[in-house]
Amino acid sequence: MSASVFFPLDKQQAVGVIGGGQLGRMLALAARRMGVRSVVWTGGLEAPAVEVADDVIDLPFDSPEALEQFCSLATVATVEFENIPLATLQGVEKCIGLFPSPSAVGICQNREREKNFLREHGIPCTWFRVIETLDDLRSAMAELNGPGVLKTAAFGYDGKGQLKLEGNEDPASAWEEFGKQRAVLEGWVPFEKEISVMVVRAADGEVKTYDPAENRHRKHILDVSIVPARISPETSAKARELAQQVAVALDYRGILGVEFFVNHDGSLVVNEMAPRPHNSGHHTLDACATSQFEQQLRVALGLPLGSTKLVSPCVMLNLLGDFWPAETQPPDWTNLMKTDGSVLHLYGKRRATGMRKMGHATLLGNDVDAILKDVECLKNGWLA
């Protein structure tokens, strides 16, 4: 379906967002800034986007009634996370424009399809084998002959659905522990850094990329993103080139996150793809000329792409649940507020549990190493 040309400040247009989490919230806020109505389909879960959306459909994603309501209220649609039934996405696409397409989301939501897509298009990725049975796992472990990660073929994120293997385990025990699920065994990459590139592609084929972000994780959850990434200009340019290659091969429409491992020699391997705004792109709200959320809406509404210029170096800090002294008691934000160049974003979630993403802070400055010192001081204070 080709994109219609819509314009901001036209109240007859409404962007539908499938999913009601923090990404949906930020999409709805971006729509409000642009003077466009938003319709959020929550899936029937506690949804931070509800507080800021113009219309809310609080029903499961497999509900025919919800699909009908959504398509009657929205004039165009997008997704805020990838783990949505393909049948639902296809049903939306039959009624209104959906960006990105079900086919693109379907590839990215399943590791098996994602890895095969990368290999088929000559895009560097980790060694992998598809695992359906114990015999498959036994054979793949023998071929790999070293450390790897066993990952569920579908519905895995933030470290969930993964089992690290050193290579000397008993395959039968590992298969039992993993739950005998269809999986992908990936070779372990002894990388130097992890980076990501946000790439946006319009319906007319125009493509733009943001500066690569250098990502650090804590307990498998993104901890901080450093922008620009501390990599060579050649590695940065190659990452942007590969991200564009992925977007073109997918015939993608919208914002896409492409995650890379950076090897010690500067070479790159694509790790994962996210067909939506991405946690490592949150800094674009404060540090770039156009945010990743506005870019997504621009594509959906048939508007020209915005500038991806980095206005200020920055560090994005995820505010995770373990910073909260109690489930409903937020941290003391005083020191953050006293830090020059700091911007606080909270997602409106009622309870802080475990490593739940409760918000993020962006700290702007001229020197990312100096900003990182401020970030570590803030984290130490909240975790003390």
Number of domains, the chain: 3
Q: Using alpha carbons only, what angle is made at residue 46 by residues 316 and 29, rounded to the nearest 5 degrees?
A: 50
Do 317 and 180 lie in one domain? The reply is no
Sign of the dihedral through C-alpha 144, 145, 149, 155: positive
Domain end: 138, 168, 187, which one?
A: 187
Exposed, middle or buried by CB within 10 Å (0-12, 13-18, 19+), for 278? Answer: buried
Task: Please check whether residue 8 lies inside any domain of the structure.
Answer: no
Predicted pLDDT of residue 161: 83
pLDDT along the chain (384 residues), means of 10: 44 90 97 94 88 96 96 97 95 97 96 96 96 96 95 72 92 93 94 97 97 96 98 98 98 98 96 97 98 97 96 98 96 97 96 95 97 97 92
Do 250 and 283 lie in one domain? The reply is yes
8 A C-beta contact, residue 210 and residue 284: yes
Task: Please check whether residue 22 lies inside any domain of the structure.
Answer: yes
Do 216 and 314 lie in one domain? The reply is yes
Do 180 and 197 lie in one domain? The reply is no
- CATH code for position 58: 3.40.50.20
Predicted pLDDT of residue 157: 58
Task: Please check whether residue 121 lies inside any domain of the structure.
Answer: no
Predicted pLDDT of residue 2: 37
Nearest to 208 by CA among 103, 132, 306, 89: 306
- CATH code for position 159: 3.30.1490.20
Detail the residues annotated as belonging to a binding site.
Answer: 111, 151, 156-162, 186-189, 194, 217, 271-272
Do 217 and 363 lie in one domain? The reply is yes
Predicted pLDDT of residue 154: 81
- CATH code for position 339: 3.30.470.20
Detail the residues annotated as belonging to a binding site for ATP.
Answer: 111, 151, 156-162, 186-189, 194, 217, 271-272
Domain assignment of residue 246, given as a range: 193-383
pTM to 2 decimal places? 0.94
